[in-house]
Structure 1
C-alpha cells in the first residue's frame, strides 16, 4: 500500500507541473519559434526564361531553424576562417555552372537548387535573405543526368545507377588530383542498386571522402522506387534506395515528414528540415523550396558538414561523421525510421567535444530484446496474505468441527 500511495502522489505531482517553455537558442529545430517562411517562386518550377519574380520575401526559415548564422560565427571564432573554407563539395546531379548560375541550356534546376543551399549568394534586396550554409566552400558540379525521371522527355537523360557509378568512378580517380583533401560528395537523388555503383561508393568512402545521399522521396507513378509509391504500414526503404543504402554513406531524412512526401527507412543516419529553404533558380534569381524532400535535406547536411569540417580541419571524414551524429538532436542512437540519430545541429557540432571512438551501430532491423523482469515489490505482502488466508481457513474449519461439541456441553 505504501508503494501504491507513493506512485499515485508522484503521478498527481507530474500532472500539476506546467509544460516546459520553448527551448533556448542552441536547442535545434524546435528551438526557433516564429521563423518567417520564405515566399516566392518554387525552385523546381523555375525555368530559364522565368522572369516574373527574381527575388523572395520572408526569410530562410530552414537556416534559422538550424541556427546557421550562429554556427557560421562559431566556426569563424574557432578556426579564424569563414564557413566552408578549405572544403570541396561535389554535387553529383543535374549540371550547373556555379552555386548561383545554371549551365546554359539546362532544363532542370535540381542540381543548382542543391548547390545553392550549400554556397548560394545571399539576397541583398529588396530584403536581405541568407542563402548558403557554407558560402566559402568550393562547390562543383559533376552531372550524370539532365532531367528527373518524372520529367522524362525525348533526348534527356534520367538518373540511372550506371551513370552515377561512372561519375563516382571519375571522382574517385581524381582523389589525388583535382579532388584531393577534404571532400564532400553529395548525391541528392535516388537510384537502384548496381554492383558497379556499390564498388565506386566503397572506393570513395575508403579514399576519405564524406559521401552524403538522400534516403529517398516517395516516387511518382512509373519512377523509382515504384514499389514504394504507396505508403504502407511497416515500410522500410533501406537497401532499396542507393547510394544511401551503401555502408559508410551518410543517409539523410527529413526532420518533419508529416507531408508524406518521403520514405521511411531504417538506414537513415541524420535529418534536416528539407523545406523552408531559399536557393537559386535557373533564371538567375532566388527561389524557395517548400515541399519536404530528402534531396534538399541531404544538401543541407552536406553543407553543414562542410561548415563543421572547416572549423575542425584536422579531423577525417569518419570523425566528422561521428561529430555530426553525436551532436544531433536525437537520443544518441539511430532508432528513428525518419530522422536516424536526429536532426543535425550545426552549432553543437562546431562547439562540442565528442567521443572520437567509433560508436557501435546496432542493426536497426534486429528485434529489440524483451524487457528485463522487474522486481515484484508486493511479493512479500502477497506471500503473507496467502499464509494468513491459509491460517484463517484452518481456524474456520476447526470452529466448524468443534461447534456441535461445544453446543452439547452447554
Structure 2
C-alpha cells in the first residue's frame, strides 16, 4: 500500500497561558494525507511504539486483563473528533461543539483507538479551550482547566476514569491547585507535559532561551499543572531523531517523573487519516505515558492511582531515587511495568532490599575454648621423645661397654 503522509513540522513551545501544540504545522487537519485505502484501514509504523515494545505489551493486556469494565482516560484539550477514537462521554467548558483544532484529537489518538497505545481504553473528551481559526494554539485560562479537572474529579467514579491527560501548560492559580488535589483525591492519575522549549518568535517566559538550555534551567515552578505535587510530569527523549539534541525541543524540569520517545509518533488528524508527529515534544510524551498507564490500569484494575504510578516509575530504566531534569526516573518500560513482580503498598511505596551495613562484619564461626595446658602437654611430649631417644642409645651401647670391662 502506497501512502503519502504530511509530517507536522517545526516544533512550537508549550508556553505559559498558551495551549500550544507540541508541534506547529501548516496543516493541522492533516488533510493532505493521501492513501489508496479508506481512512479506517490506514496504519503507519509508529516509531516510539516500536522503541517502547508496545505491541507485545498490548498482546499481554489483551490476553490477561479483565474485560468487564473499560478503563477511561480524560483528555483535557481542544476537543476530540471521534471518527476513529472511542469517546465515551464529552464535556465542554467552552460550550462549543465542532472540533476545529487538531491537538486534542492527536493527543487522544496516541492514547486510545486503533493507533493508540491502549486500543481498548475509552477517551473522555473534556474540552477546555477552542481555536476558532484552526491553525494555532489558543489561550487557555487556568480557571478553564480547573473547571475541566473539577468535572473529571466529580465523574471519575461513574465513568471509571483512571487517568487524566493535560498536554498543555498554564499559569498557576489557587483554584487550579485545588482542582488538581480533587482529581488526585478521586483516585485519578494526572499526567501533564513537562514543557517544550519555546521556538523563535514565540511569547514565553524570558527565563528560557529559544535556542539552548542554560546550566541552571528549570521549568519546575514555572509551568503548571506539571509543577504541582503528585502530578506525573512527562518528558520526551530524542530517540530516533539522529543527531538531535533533545534540549532543542524540551526544557529541563526538576519535576520530571519519566520520559518516552516521541519522534515520528503516529496519530489521527481531523480528516480521520493518520499523521506523523515528527519533532520530539512533551505534549505527545504526556499522551504516551497516559496510554501506558491505561494499559497498567487494565491489567491491575484494583490498584490505586499511587500503585499505578509506582509500577510506572519503579520499572523505568533510570534510578527512581536520583531523577534527572530531562528523563526523571528514566524512560518508561511498559512491558516491565506490567510484568515485574512488584508489590507496591496502597500509598505506592515499594519496599527495596536493604543495603548491607558496611560496618557490620559477617558472622564468624565459633572459636574453640582456650586450652590452658596445651603448652605443658607440648613440652611433655618433647621431653618424652628426648628421654626415649637417650634410652634407646644407652641400650644399643650397653654390649660395647660390657666387652671393654677387664
- TM-score, scaled to structure 2: 0.69
Specify which of 192, 195, 207 is matched with residue 227 of structure 1: 207
Q: Structure 1: 5+ residue runs without aligned partners? A: 1-37, 122-130, 361-371, 373-410
Identify the structure with the greater strand proportion. 2
Measure, in 1, the Cα distance between the counterparts of 2:177 and 2:4.
Answer: 40
Q: CA-atom RMSD, angstroms?
A: 2.9
Measure, in 1, the Cα distance between the counterparts of 2:33 and 2:306.
Answer: 45
Partner residue of 1:162?
143
Measure, in 1, the Cα distance between the counterparts of 2:334 and 2:34.
Answer: 31
User: Within 5 A, what are the aligned runs for 1:257-272?
Assistant: 258-259=245-246, 260-272=248-260
Partner residue of 1:73?
59
Partner residue of 2:111?
118
Specify which of 184, 188, 191 is matched with residue 205 of structure 1: 184
Measure, in 2, the Cα distance between the counterparts of 1:142 and 1:244.
Answer: 18
Partner residue of 1:338?
326
Measure, in 1, the Cα distance between the counterparts of 2:340 and 2:181.
Answer: 29
Q: Is the 8 A contact 2:257 2:323 kept in 1?
A: no
Q: Structure 2: 5+ residue runs without aligned partners? A: 9-23, 88-95, 239-243, 351-357, 359-406
Partner residue of 2:396?
none
Measure, in 2, the Cα distance between the counterparts of 1:228 and 1:99.
Answer: 38
Partner residue of 1:106?
99
CA apart distance, 1:216? 0.6
CA apart distance, 1:309? 0.9
Higher Rg of the two aligned structures: 2
CA apart distance, 1:175? 3.1
Partner residue of 2:172?
193
Q: Is the 8 A contact 1:98 1:140 kept in 2?
A: no
Measure, in 2, the Cα distance between the counterparts of 1:49 and 1:289.
Answer: 11
CA apart distance, 1:67? 0.5
Partner residue of 2:340?
352
Measure, in 1, the Cα distance between the counterparts of 2:231 and 2:28.
Answer: 32
Measure, in 1, the Cα distance between the counterparts of 2:29 and 2:253.
Answer: 35
Q: What SS class does the counterpart of residue 175 from structure 1 fall into?
A: helix
> Cα–Cα, structure 1 residues 106 and 225, in superposed 2: closer, same or farther, change >3 Å?
farther
Q: Does 1:91 align with 2:72?
A: no
Measure, in 2, the Cα distance between the counterparts of 1:73 and 1:246.
Answer: 34
> Cα–Cα, structure 1 residues 225 and 146, in superposed 2: closer, same or farther, change >3 Å?
farther
> Cα–Cα, structure 1 residues 258 and 241, in superposed 2: closer, same or farther, change >3 Å?
same
Partner residue of 2:5?
40
User: Within 5 A, what are the aligned runs for 1:1-400?
Assistant: 40-43=5-8, 45=25, 46-48=27-29, 50-53=31-34, 59-79=45-65, 81=67, 86-98=70-82, 100=84, 105-121=98-114, 131-147=115-131, 157-177=138-158, 179=159, 181-220=160-199, 221-230=201-210, 231-256=213-238, 258-259=245-246, 260-357=248-345, 358-359=348-349
Q: What SS class does the counterpart of residue 213 from structure 1 fall into?
A: strand
CA apart distance, 1:159? 2.0
Q: Is the 8 A contact 1:225 1:241 kept in 2?
A: no
CA apart distance, 1:325? 0.4
Q: What SS class does the counterpart of residue 34 from structure 2 fall into?
A: coil
Measure, in 2, the Cα distance between the counterparts of 1:253 and 1:247.
Answer: 16
CA apart distance, 1:217? 0.7
CA deviation profile, 1:202-255 (whole Å, cap 9, x unmatched): 110011011110001112444344532433221011111111111111110112
Q: What SS class does the counterpart of residue 241 from structure 1 fall into?
A: coil
Measure, in 1, the Cα distance between the counterparts of 2:97 and 2:162.
Answer: 26
Measure, in 1, the Cα distance between the counterparts of 2:305 and 2:187.
Answer: 6
CA apart distance, 1:66? 0.6
> Cα–Cα, structure 1 residues 292 and 81, in superposed 2: closer, same or farther, change >3 Å?
same
CA apart distance, 1:97? 3.0
CA apart distance, 1:52? 4.8
Partner residue of 1:393?
none
Q: What SS class does the counterpart of residue 92 from structure 1 fall into?
A: strand
How many residue pairs get matched? 308
